[in-house]
A and B are shown apart, each in its own frame.
Chain A
Amino acid sequence: MFILTSIADLVQIHPEDFNKEASQAIEDNINAKYANKVIQKIGLCICLYDLLSASEGLIGHGTGLVNVNVEFRLIVFRPFKHEVMLGRISSATEHGIRVRTQFFDQIFIPSSNLPEGSEFLPTEQVFVWNLADGQRLYYDNQETVRFRIEEEIWTDQSPMGPKEREDAAGTVMRASAGSPYVVKGSMADAGLGPCLWWDGDEE
């Protein structure tokens, strides 16, 4: 689920942070910039893992900021393809089920990735799995589920330049509400789906 990513960046320490230890000031700076944010094609950054190197602090003209070039490693949430994860169902529509974890809620299970025999009940707004023997199993909201990662979708949210906007204006306006990082999953396999279905004790 988690990876380490090495990044080089310039950290600017403000004079009000001079009473902190240098390493702590750098750490806070990096965390303030990256924690809980998505980098395109990298993943959701969690926090600093370790500092690899830092240059001398340099003060530029006109400001009191100390500039430090640092290299560091970040803990990043980036599940790999076919990884099995735990989450909770947050809601369902006829297109599929939305799953969330406490820290990341952009997980979607399309209805085509549910086991065969699943159907959406519009009156109750939940999916149900009709077993061959007539039993019906519900994908209730807030149920803890196991799912497999199938696909990731990146949406670059950086603003467009005036030139690009002109080019795009004639065609389709880009959806601005999309989230930067969406994961698509599957529950169409034995052992996937609500944990309560599978985790019974035999003895």
Chain B
Amino acid sequence: MKILEAQSATLTNYEVYTHLTEQRARYAKKEMQGRRPGNLETVVKELLDYFHEAPSPLGSKPFPYNEHTIRTLFERLRPYDFTKAEFLMILNLRPTKPENLNTIVEEMEGRFPGEELQLEICEIITEVLGKPDGEAERHAMSENAIEARKEVERQGGENTEMEE
């Protein structure tokens, strides 16, 4: 094994997601050709689960991305002079409120002073990527947490039984 280039490009979550779903579709077609490596199946399933989980934009409906999204958003946000990393995070996390944008953009108050300007940016992001269904997302998040806690308890219960 020889590393030719440690980082030849960065990918957005959407690009990884499309690659994985396309790969899955391709494999489903050629069933006769045997199984895929187990470690691949594991990581692909876990990653898709992660992408689908609220509040990830990839899990929201209607699906906010298409092949033109990245270009459109890039052009609309050009006047604001975001760095590449910031733009990547905007695409991945879809901040539609100034508070959320603040975590992504460094020194936001200095670079984009005033709430009006910040709301303007959020407005553009909402126009291109859509608005998250806040109610449903919060509901899904609490459901997930409750479900996972139950799961942990169940496992804990089994373990103690075994010890006895």
Contacts and interface: CB of A to CB of B under 8 A. Distances in A.
Interface of A: 1-9, 19-21, 24, 28, 31-32, 35-37, 39, 41-42, 46-47, 49, 71, 73, 75, 78, 80, 82-84, 86, 88, 101-103, 140-144, 146, 148, 189-192, 195-196, 198-202
A24 B33 contact: yes
Interface residues of B, number: 60
B28 to A, nearest CB: 14
29 contacts: A4-B7, A5-B3, A5-B7, A20-B33, A21-B33, A28-B37, A31-B39, A32-B40, A35-B42, A35-B43, A39-B3, A42-B6, A46-B16, A47-B44, A83-B88, A84-B103, A84-B104, A88-B144, A103-B47, A103-B49, A141-B145, A141-B149, A191-B99, A192-B103, A196-B141, A199-B55, A199-B137, A199-B138, A202-B97
B123 interface: no
B79 interface: no
Contacts of B93: 84, 86
A192 B50 CA distance: 19
Contacts of B56: 86
A47 B19 CA distance: 10
A82 B146 CA distance: 30
Contact of A140 (B3, B30, B40, B145): B145
B3 A102 contact: no
B160 interface: no
A24 B34 CA distance: 11
Contacts of B103: 84, 146, 148, 189-192
Contacts of A202: 97
